[in-house]
Amino acid sequence: MIAIALPLAAQPPGGGRGGPPMIPKAAAPIDLTGYWVSIVTEDWRYRMVTPAPGDYQSVPMTPAAIKIADAWDPAKDEASGDQCKSYGAPALLRVPEHLHITWQDDQTLRMDTDAGKQTRLFHFGDWKNPESAPTLQGDSVAQWEIQRAGPRPVNGSLKVATSHLKAGYLRKNGVPYSENASLMEYYDLVKERNGDQLLVVTIVVTDPTYLREPFIISSHFKKLDGDAGWNPTACSARW
Amino acid sequence: MKFAAILLCVALPALAEIDLSGSWTSKNHEDNMERGAGPNPDDWAGLPFNESGRAKALGFSQSIISMPERICWFQTQWHIAAGPFSLKIWSENDPLTGRILSWVIGGWETRAPMTIWMDGRPHPSKNAPHDQTGFTTGSWNGDTLTAYTTHIKSGYMRRNGAASSDQATITTTFMRHGDMLTLALVMEDPVYLTEPYILTRSYLSTPTPVAVAGPPCIVGYEGVEEGRVPHYLPGKNPFIDEMDKIYHIPREASLGGAETMYPAFREKIKDKFVIPPKCTRNCGAPGF
């Protein structure tokens, strides 16, 4: 018997040779749905509290970005209705929060957050950007990366590419990303020895305007049995 | 045709798995200061240690690592997560079958490479000696490699006195996505932790060779007189409010504990926290 490891499949293949493509919901190699809570063991003082103005530790900012960040004024953001600038897609998974992930339909995975009450939609297939203004959560195109042993899926991950973003903050203290920013994410599941399920998201933010190199971080979440702790709160420009 | 089938048998792994070998640059865009210069002396926020762990951390004086018997205390397997180091990964193969016997990870300063045994050998008896490297076995789940390390000497979780015991274990999951490698590291320690301590780290594939090993940690005399163990007595740690002074982070947060890892903890400190007027030290950019 020869079991062949095939490289990551970009999209789920048909149910059989020449068959129609499987719908993404049915083809999911991992189950991301459910409630998840952030585990904040990294960058604590940039995430759990608002860092001081001028604290840009770890972020490869351009001089233009530093100039913008040095002028950070939360009162101004509040006055202009921009208190959600630190809840955009490139920063959203660094916010201490709960996630609720569901299938909106067979082609669309939906992620809601309690912090900032944001919604991201991950579109599979040949979804096209609608003609509209950039948004905080941008346009996200998703595909499964399916790991196979022969024809059998044994594991996998979700790859999400996001563009068409409205400018925002990577950190609450005004570290900016521009409308030229794009985001690549990989969602993996990790099983702990104690039985807990972890969601690990590798996040790559690219921004030719405000980053000297891609900003690469990873966030982790623990799966919850239900919605305990789900506490929707409005965006805040200061906390 | 028969020849092709034989070639497939030899060249392809029996189950889905992925090549991890090569040089990997650490992207220190998170915990940059903690992994480089080191954490603030009283920063244990987000660390799920218990009362024993906290007490041990509060008694810690950085001068203790000047003692010959503790000079290499930092260099346990957890160094891969808590340090800033890039990685060199290679496999050791059976010369007859080509089968991978182990994955080996080197490249970080002052310690021996980590060997992940893939040949199904069991972990040693719980009474077997412990060392800083420990004993690690691995298995694949699709393209994801999970390594489990036991038999580690007591060491550290954070380089400011948060200690790990010799009962600690580390589970490391390797997730490769093209030229990117993400590690999820989970430490469990029945002596000092109430919940697993989890860190994730990111690396990029690089054509620039990463050295297989750094210079070894060498025990030497650094002037600590015999019989003296640098420490702080209970209630006497002079740095206990440094996080409050610098960052306005209240003591109940900086002293750690599992609840400080979760979003709900923010509500407890919300009314006590005021944004500092200006960053005054370790502020990062440009060049961070």
Does a structural domain hold residue B82?
Answer: yes
The model's pLDDT over A59-85, given as tens digits with 9 standing for 90+, comes to 999 999 999 999 999 999 999 999 999
State whether B266 and A48 contact (CB < 8 Å): yes
- Selected for mutation to probe chain B from A70, A147, A205, A215 (highest B CB count within 10 Å) is A147
Does a structural domain hold residue B278?
Answer: no
- Spatial contact of B136 and B112, defined as CB atoms under 8 Å apart: no
Same domain, B88 and B200: yes
Phi/psi for B44 (5° steps) reads -120, 15
Question: Shortest Cα distance from A231 to chain B (angstroms)?
Answer: 9
Same domain, B260 and B200: no
ipTM: 0.92
Q: Give yes or no for residue A16 having a pLDDT over 80.
A: no
- Judged by DSSP in three states, B269 sits in helix
Predicted confidence at residue B132, as pLDDT, reads 86
Select from A144, A139, A143 the least CA-distant residue to A128.
Answer: A139
Same domain, B198 and B247: no
Does a structural domain hold residue B211?
Answer: no
Q: Give yes or no for residue A11 having a pLDDT over 70.
A: no
H, E, C per residue of B214-236: CCECCCCCCCCCCCCCCECCCCC
Taking the model in full, what pTM does it have?
A: 0.93
Average pLDDT rounded to a whole number, residues A124-148 = 91
Same domain, B26 and B159: yes
Same domain, B139 and B185: yes
- Selected for mutation to probe chain B from A1, A2, A4, A58 (highest B CB count within 10 Å) is A58
Q: What range does the domain containing B59 cover?
A: 22-41+52-206
Q: What is the mean pLDDT of chain B?
A: 90
Q: Which residues of A touch B266 (CB under 8 A)?
A: 48-49, 96, 239
CATH of the domain at B63: 2.40.128
Question: Shortest Cα distance from A133 to chain B (angstroms)?
Answer: 30
Q: Which residues of A touch B260 (CB under 8 A)?
A: 40, 44, 48
- Selected for mutation to probe chain A from B143, B187, B267, B272 (highest A CB count within 10 Å) is B143
d(Cα A97, Cα B268) in Å, to the nearest integer?
15
Does a structural domain hold residue B118?
Answer: yes
Same domain, B29 and B128: yes
- Among chain A residues, the shortest Cα distance to B200 is held by A218
Same domain, B176 and B255: no
Structural domain count of chain B? 2
- Spatial contact of B87 and B68, defined as CB atoms under 8 Å apart: no
For chain A, what are the domain ranges?
22-221
The model's pLDDT over A17-49, given as tens digits with 9 standing for 90+, comes to 556 778 999 999 999 999 999 999 999 999 999
Q: Give yes or no for residue B9 having a pLDDT over 50.
A: no
Same domain, B28 and B134: yes
CA A69 centroid distance within chain:
23
State whether B262 and A96 contact (CB < 8 Å): yes
Query: Other C-beta atoms within 10 Å of B200: how many?
Result: 26
pLDDT band of B285, cuts 50, 70, 90: low
